[in-house]
Structure 1
Amino acid sequence: MKKFIHYTFLFLTSVAGLLFFMAFPRLFAFRVEGSEHLGFKLAAFFKALAATAAQFFEPSSWNFFESWNQETVIDRYTYSLEIIFVSLLFTVFIGSLIAYLFMNLPYKQRTKVKHVLNFFEGLPNLLIIFMMQMLLFTIYREFNLRLVTMYGLAGKEPLIFPMIINSILPLLFFAQFLIKVMEEEYEKHYILLGQAKGLSKIQLLFIHLTRNIIPVVFIHFKTIIFLVLTNLVLVEHMFVLDGYIQELYKLLLTHGVSPAKILFYVGVFMMPVIIVERLVTFYGKKAGIARGIDI
């Protein structure tokens, strides 16, 4: 019952947010026709909010499945989901690799590595995209070597480069989180007991420590999932990719589009992501209970 109330409230707040988003531009208007000064028009805003909400109850507003169930829309949908899930796999692999290599470094070197991770994690995505573009352009100009396809042109949509760009900040964030969890776990008594018994550092890290941090990592992995998702908006726009974000953008620019249609398009896109997030969280809780870890 508690979960039912939670998800019902979540759905209602999502609908309310969508209605507010669609009616929000009507809140502002020029004070005098031809003037450059904007003013507030609360009456127009509430009128637009009521009119938008009323569209939910119009039968014609719910005739949108045929427009979504087209080959071009499905191709964009699957392409964007492919970028998201490949980015997640790349994030987990590279982030884990960085964390485990970090734990095998001498203690004095770890502080320097942390400074490097903090520096790159603080860089904005736009700067990272620009730096990688310049690097690839320089390699192509000097050596006539095209390492990856960057832009979606002539019907060919790239995967590797958008996936790398989409994963850079999430994998750095994931590596930092994993390092923090590992360092805290490495100070516990069972690690000291294993060292006293003569177990190697690799055995302690990959067998005992990893099994104990999996529940905590899985529970907090939802942050990485939604970070990858939000980065996709920037990546598809910057690299002219014909993905599902472009489809949503065109839909929002369509005059008179019903809120039910927007809600369906966004919901269909978010559903696989939410399912994966729920499965990861569920597995993390089960693994925590099995190992007697209170999360």
Structure 2
Amino acid sequence: MGRKFARFLIVLIAITLSVICICHIPALLFKELPPPANQPFAMEMKELGFFPGNYFIELKKTFIELLHFKEISYVAQGTNVERTIFPYILESYAYSLLLLFVSLFIALVFAVLFTTGTFYLSRKMQGIVKNILTVLEALPDVFVIFSLQLGAIWVFKHTNLLVAEPYSLSGQKIYFLPILTLSLIPMIYLYKNTFLMYENELGKPYVELGVAKGMGKLYILIRHVFPNVLYSFFYNLKYMYLLLLSNMIILEYMYNIYGILQFITNHPSYEIISVALILLTFPLSIVFFFIQSFLPKGVTFYDQKAM
């Protein structure tokens, strides 16, 4: 366990350094130009090119700032008040993280439930479900987010029933519609992929042996098939988290949510962007470490054990 933890710390440091270096790519490609002498208040101009010197200067500044992270400050939007980012960024961070992890959990649970239920349908219906999932998966994320938001407005307009807040006002925190929106897109992806993985597992000899022994379909699916696809679920989490993050950018803008990504957009300095992205990558790294540490050994590879 100690060796695993040491390896985890090394990985965490490598991720942190990578995030900081990636955040500074604009400094490698763009360099700020001083305003003309006769126009001291002119708009800020940038030169496009390749500036490794500028990149390392900005990188050095950020590392120094991060060593004193409690002193990193920003000017509050719409005011001239300067604040340190802590603890103000933590409120936006906690809100975004709650939406992300609740949505991911709901997507995982419903993908498994729907997949299990689908195998009680006829072969023809299973094929129809698969085709519907393919069509839904092809829909743009913006279309799904906008449709759900518009649907809530349409219901309110025709029934005077506000089923969910379609827009955040004055810093209000809304949960139902953002979580529903965020969980729907990864759920479709997971549903389809879990269905295909189940199909692949059901054709293997250990399942046929279970059927021959008189085991029920539900027992075989949950007790034997699901553990063998659990490892794929584990590796899909990385893709799901990145997918949720990309959707979160659109969602925060369309629902006027003041989450951590909106915080970055409003205060786009290298230090703040680095801190925010490090905060977003840490939870996934920690979750992966604990899952990998406590995942049963029989689930870490497709061993076809079980009977």
Match of 2:22 in 1: 17
The answer to whether the Cα contact below 8 Å between 2:19 and 2:278 also exists between their aligned partners in 1 is no
User: 1:169 Cα shift?
Assistant: 1.4
The aligned counterpart of 2:86 is 69
| 2:43 match | none
Letter in 2 for 1:151: Y
Q: Deviations over 1:234-263 (max 9, x none)?
A: 1111110011111112221xxxx4x44532
Cα offset for 1:159?
A: 0.6
User: 2: distance between equivalents of 1:57 and 1:106?
Assistant: 60
**Structure 2 counterpart SS, 1:105:** coil
Greater displacement, 119-128 / 203-212: 203-212
**What amino acid is the match of 1:93?**
V
SS at match of 2:31: helix
For residue 16 of structure 1, what is the amino acid of its counterpart? Answer: C
- Residues 1:157 and 2:163 are matched in the alignment: no
1:83 Cα deviation from its structure 2 partner: 0.3
Residue 121 (structure 1) shift: 0.8
Alpha-carbon offset, residue 198 of structure 1? 1.9
CA contact (8 A) 1:64 1:261 kept: no
Cα deviation for residue 173 of structure 1 reads 0.8
Compute the displacement of 1:196 (Å). 1.5
| 2:221 match: secondary structure | helix
**TM-score in terms of structure 1 length:** 0.82
The residue number in structure 2 matching 1:79 is 95
Report the residue type matching 1:139 in the other structure.
Answer: V
Aligned partner of residue 258 in structure 2, secondary structure: coil
Equivalent residue, structure 2, for 1:262: 273
Partners of 2:70 and 2:241 in 1: how far apart? Answer: 27
CA contact (8 A) 1:23 1:52 kept: no
Letter in 2 for 1:25: F
Are residues 13 and 27 of structure 1, via their aligned partners in 2, closer, same or farther at CA, if it must alter by over 3 Å? farther
Q: How far 1:147 sits from its partner (Å)?
A: 0.6
Residue 33 of structure 1 aligns with which residue? none
Distance 1:81 1:144 in 2: 32
- The answer for the alignment partner of 1:94 in structure 2 is 110
Q: Normalization by structure 2: what TM-score? A: 0.79
SS of residue matched to 1:26: strand
- CA–CA distance in 2 between the matches of 1:50 and 1:206? 53
* Matched residue type, 1:131: S
Aligned pair 1:48/2:48, yes or no? no
Farther-moved stretch of structure 1 (171-180 vs 284-293): 284-293
Aligned residue in 2 for 1:274 = 285
User: Which whole-Å CA distance do the structure 2 matches of 1:285 and 1:260 have between them?
Assistant: 40
Instruction: Name the aligned partner's letter for residue 141 of structure 1.
Output: K
CA–CA distance in 1 between the matches of 2:276 and 2:218?
A: 47
Alignment CA distance shift 1:23-1:268 (3 Å): same
**Residue correspondences, number:** 276
Bigger Cα displacement from structure 2, 219-228 vs 132-141: 219-228
- Give the match for residue 103 of structure 1: 119
DSSP-derived class of the 1:220 partner: helix
Map 1:277-292 → 2, pairs under 5 A: 277-284=288-295, 286-289=297-300, 292=303
Gaps of 5+ in 1: 29-37
Pair 1:143–1:5, CA change in 2 (3 A): closer
More helix by share: 1
CA distance in 1, matches of 2:290, 2:181: 26
Deviates further, 199-208 or 231-240: 199-208
C-alpha deviations, 1:208-267, integer Å up to 9, x for none? 222332233223332222222222111111110011111112221xxxx4x445322321
C-alpha distance in 2 between matches for 1:217 and 1:47? 43
Partner of 2:79: none
